[in-house]
């Protein structure tokens, strides 16, 4: 079974800039807790001042479910030890009854299902993460009501080129916003954490996630030890393409020229020096990743033509009867990847 990746986006009500350093750190903490509990993995992420991006991998539930000890380990990610101890006691007592013929094995399964229905599930991951953060935020800031303007938006993303492109698009958010020149300098993103997070802890987890984003199509697991071998350099090249400032040269009526900076970012000369020793990426991503690409948040499905058509066939009833296939070419700001990446939605407006 191919990995299931989803690009998830959620924005703050009225898009107010309410997330400072403390809020961004807390969101990341809750996100990591949810990963440990659910078995889902944030292979790339970025927490901005008024919205969040996640490239989330949702593996299938393990065949045969979990042992009792595996379940308890998952519970420790989000519950206090006293709560885990209660569940442990309930499981042990129920198993004794099963062994004595006083209870059926389904009683044990029912205890597991009280928690496992929230694992390996996109909607449950996002719902719980956003609810937990909202409760903390409201309590901290003495407010009530919804924090997010809607539930969340998600786009299905194919592994391989699509996954690494979306990961880079996410990590370049603070560059496009003019907050930093180098995506490595932004602390609250997967790449920033991978570079500055240290050899252990979440720095290691961030590196493992990006390895998965770039190598899942090759059957490579989330192995942080592979980051330094070649993944880091390949990903750095993609990010540099997207971080180079965009300059526009205008010719005046008198024949003179003027150069206007259209977007903030890393100077072209600085990026070129880093790229001298390495090869370029699979597709010309630089120009595309410097812009907002609406397909990546509203395209429904992003990937190869065959991947999008397969997803279309599985959800055929959601589309009009006149539609023959699912794959649509990227246009506007996404045109650099046209023919390599396809979308399930043919966006007519606001595509750049």
**Shortest CA distance to 43 belongs to which of 160, 136, 147?**
160
Report residue 30 as tokens: 């809750």
Would you state the pLDDT for residue 87? 98
CA 292 – CA 333 distance, rounded (Å): 7
Strands (E) located in 146-297? 153-157, 247-251, 257-261
Most confident of 4-13, 263-272, 273-282: 4-13
* Mean pLDDT over the full length of the chain: 87
The H or E element containing residue 7 is: strand 5-11
Report residue 15 as tokens: 């898009």
Residue scoring higher pLDDT (79 or 259): 79
CATH number of 5-60+149-291: 3.30.70
List the chain domain ranges.
5-60+149-291, 68-116
Would you state the pLDDT for residue 267? 64
CA 303 – CA 344 distance, rounded (Å): 9
For the cut 80, the answer to whether the pLDDT of residue 253 exceeds it is: no
At 240, the pLDDT band (50, 70, 90 cuts) reads confident
Question: What percent of the chain has a predicted confidence (pLDDT) above 70?
Answer: 85
For the cut 70, the answer to whether the pLDDT of residue 270 exceeds it is: no
Q: Which of 18-22, 142-146, 225-229, 315-319 bottoms out in mean pLDDT, i.e. has the lowest?
A: 315-319
Contacts of range 267-271, beta carbons closer than 8 Å, 24 or more positions apart:
267/181, 268/244, 271/240, 271/241, 271/243, 271/244
**Shortest CA distance to 232 belongs to which of 272, 269, 264, 203?**
203
Most confident of 271-280, 290-299, 313-322: 290-299
Would you state the pLDDT for residue 317? 84
Question: What percent of the chain has a predicted confidence (pLDDT) above 90?
Answer: 67
Would you state the pLDDT for residue 268? 61
Question: Residue 107 burial by CB count (10 A; 0-12/13-18/19+): exposed, middle or buried?
Answer: middle
Most confident of 5-14, 259-268, 277-286: 5-14
For the cut 80, the answer to whether the pLDDT of residue 249 exceeds it is: no
Would you state the pLDDT for residue 177? 92
Would you state the pLDDT for residue 61? 93
For the cut 50, the answer to whether the pLDDT of residue 128 exceeds it is: yes
pLDDT in tens, 135-192: 999 999 999 999 999 889 999 999 999 999 999 999 999 999 999 999 999 999 999 9
pLDDT in tens, 26-75: 999 999 999 999 999 999 999 999 999 999 999 999 998 999 999 999 99
Report residue 329 as tokens: 């070419």
Would you state the pLDDT for residue 279? 45
**Shortest CA distance to 266 belongs to which of 292, 236, 295, 231?**
236
Task: Taking residues 327-341, report their average pLDDT.
Answer: 89
Report residue 151 as tokens: 């539930």
């Amino acid at each position: 079974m191919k990995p299931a990746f989803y690009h998830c986006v959620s924005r703050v009500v009225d898009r107010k800039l309410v997330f400072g350093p403390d809020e961004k750190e807390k969101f990341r903490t809750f996100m990591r807790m949810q990963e440990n509990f659910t078995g889902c993995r944030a292979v790339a992420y970025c927490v901005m001042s008024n919205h969040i991006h996640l490239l989330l991998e949702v593996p299938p539930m393990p065949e045969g479910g979990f042992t009792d000890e595996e379940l308890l380990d998952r519970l420790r990610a989000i519950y206090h030890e006293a709560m885990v101890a209660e569940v442990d006691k309930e499981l042990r007592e129920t198993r004794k009854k099963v062994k004595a013929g006083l209870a059926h094995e389904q009683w044990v399964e029912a205890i597991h299902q009280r928690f496992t229905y929230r694992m390996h599930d996109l909607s449950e991951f996002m719902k719980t993460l956003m609810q937990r953060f909202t409760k903390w935020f409201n309590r901290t800031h003495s407010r009530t009501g919804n924090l997010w303007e809607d539930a969340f938006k998600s786009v299905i993303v194919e592994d391989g080129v699509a996954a690494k492109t979306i990961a880079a698009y996410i990590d370049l958010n603070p560059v496009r916003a003019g907050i930093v020149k180098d995506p490595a300098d932004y602390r609250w993103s997967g790449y920033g954490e991978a570079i500055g997070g240290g050899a252990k802890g979440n720095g290691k987890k961030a590196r493992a996630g990006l390895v998965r984003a770039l190598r899942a199509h090759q059957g490579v697991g989330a192995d942080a030890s592979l980051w330094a071998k070649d993944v880091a350099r390949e990903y750095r090249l993609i990010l540099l393409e997207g971080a180079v400032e965009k300059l526009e040269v205008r010719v005046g009526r008198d024949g003179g020229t003027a150069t206007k900076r259209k977007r903030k970012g890393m100077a072209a000369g600085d990026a070129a020096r880093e790229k001298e020793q390495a090869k370029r990426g699979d597709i010309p991503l630089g120009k595309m990743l410097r812009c907002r690409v609406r397909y990546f948040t509203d395209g429904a499905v992003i990937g190869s033509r065959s991947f999008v058509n397969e997803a279309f066939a599985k959800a055929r009833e959601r589309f009009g009867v006149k539609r023959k296939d699912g794959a649509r070419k990227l246009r506007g700001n996404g045109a650099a990847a046209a023919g390599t990446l396809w979308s399930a939605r043919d966006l007519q407006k606001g595509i750049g």
